[in-house]
Amino acid sequence: MKKEFIIVDPVGLHARPATLLVNEASKFASEAKILVGDKEANLKSIMGVMSLGIANGVEFSIETEGSDAEEALSAIAKVIVDGNIGTEK
């Protein structure tokens, strides 16, 4: 499963929102990845997410795969939108 977003946080995907996403993704058994351009990282790894350096206005995708992939993607998308991290594309 996959959803696309655009970062709206003026500072980009910095430590606080990255931590929120990692914590949410870690609640699920499914694999979760964050993809930006030709780069990707495990959404359950704070270092991986931070290494992408996603700035304001950048498009990115969240991809989940596994037994609870749909539920995981929905919960992660809710954190992104409700936390004003990004908007769905």
Active site residues: 14
* CB-facing half-sphere around the CA of 88: CA atoms within 13 A: 10
Tokens 């910095």 found at: 14
Show the tokens assigned to 71: 């539920």
CB atoms < 10 A from the CB of 26, how many? 13
